[in-house]
Amino acid sequence: MECLNDILCDKYALVGVRDFVNCPHSETILFVNDIPGITLKSAAAIVNDEQRTGITLLNDKIKLATKKVFNKFSSVISGNFDFNAIIEARDISKFKTELLPKATLNRGLKLSRWPSEAAQIYIEKLYIKVGQSGIAYIKIIDGDVQKIYEASLLANVTNDVTIRYKAKSEIVYITFDQTDFDVYTGNLNTSTTSGCGSCGTKRGWTKKHDLEITGYNGTGDESALFGVGVLANIQCYEEAILCQLLPRMSFMMWYQAGIEILQEHIASGRINSVVLFNKDQARETLELLQAELKNEEKQFNNNIKNFLKTTTGVCFSCKGITSTYATP
């Protein structure tokens, strides 16, 4: 999950340690050392050899708490709405015997999907068939992002190029410079595998396929191939929904982080005045945090169904408020 990775790599924080946070939007952060009984001094008193310092222990527990909250509410989402793993898969790999002449153009394919918060185009691999052997630099244009793959191509055979690329944009172009290559043409009447129905809708989408694929001649769409085929699908990913829900999850992460730290304190085998003196307070605060977390989770559960029903597309299979399982 991109947002989870940002948190774990210290690019973004919802929960942190006061005076030890250096990231954007610091005004939104909840500090674990605002929880009664949790201080850098008490954390330093219970560290083990692996953690070394109090700040390391606190940050480790914050990251563990973040993972636990994400995992828990990934299950909550799945419990309310089942994701269609694959909405539609397309395998375009059939080329004709006809060759198109070299052209000083970047030609290939255009892949399109409907607007959706949860659905993304996943490109498994490419099929490339050219008239000359050589090195081609395959360019994936995904909105503002460009990714280059180097491919060693053999002439007059279908070359498989593994990509495994998850696109963010609704429209993705796959092209390469065909100045030095004659390319085989083909058509787009290929095999399709569809998923199941959904409670969602596709805003204004009138295409025949959920994953629409056309040839790209360097300037516009065409109904023919230009040496490039593809194995691709539309998949639904719950991390996009979880990342949208982050602001609603901050207090749960805060409570969970406090619980992890206090449990470490209570279980600590170190013998010193700070650990011994504060264990009773740690137990009391732990009970309070567990109760607060339970209330916060209950409120989150009550609101999540309405939130999910506002998402776009066919990623959720549902029947009223009852989940149904969708098999691609």
| Residue 182 maps to a domain | yes
Q: Which residues contact residue 312 at a Cβ distance below 8 angstroms, ignoring those fewer than 6 apart? A: 114, 115, 116, 117, 200, 201, 202, 203
Residues 229 and 278 in one domain: no
Q: In the listed set 215, 236, 257, which residue is the last one of a domain according to the structure?
A: 236
Q: In the listed set 236, 262, 280, which residue is the last one of a domain according to the structure?
A: 236
Token digits of residue 25: 């939007």
Q: In the listed set 211, 236, 261, which residue is the last one of a domain according to the structure?
A: 236
Confidence of residue 328 (pLDDT cuts 50, 70, 90): very low
Single pTM value for the model: 0.72
Residues 218 and 193 in one domain: yes
Closest-CA residue to 126 (of 90, 155, 80, 170) = 90
Tell me the CA distances in angstroms from 65 to 14, 118, 131, 249, 323, one per residue in order: 11, 24, 56, 11, 28
Residues 71 and 97 in one domain: no
Phi, psi angles (nearest 5°) of residue 183:
-130, 150
| Residue 26 maps to a domain | yes
Residues 91 and 229 in one domain: yes
| Residue 286 maps to a domain | yes
Strand intervals (E) in the chain: 15-16, 30-31, 82-83, 86-92, 99-100, 106-112, 119-128, 134-142, 145-153, 159-166, 171-177, 183-184, 191-194, 212-216, 221-222, 228-236, 316-319, 322-323
Residues 114 and 228 in one domain: yes
Go through 53-84 and write b for each residue having 16 or more CB atoms within 10 A of its CB, e for each that does not: ebbebbbbbbbebbebbbeebeebbeebbbbb
Residues 36 and 68 in one domain: yes
Three-state secondary-structure class, residue 76: helix
CA distance 169 to 141: 9
Total number of domains in the chain: 2
CA distance 180 to 223: 23
Residues 200 and 268 in one domain: no
| Residue 64 maps to a domain | yes
Predicted pLDDT at 201: 59
The 10s digit of each residue's pLDDT in 243-297 is 878 888 889 999 999 999 889 878 776 656 555 557 778 888 899 999 999 999 8
Residues 104 and 181 in one domain: yes
The CATH number assigned to the domain holding 182 equals: 2.60.120
Q: Higher confidence at residue 1 or residue 44?
A: 44
Predicted pLDDT at 117: 78
Q: Where in the sequence is the domain holding 155, given as residue range(s)?
A: 85-236
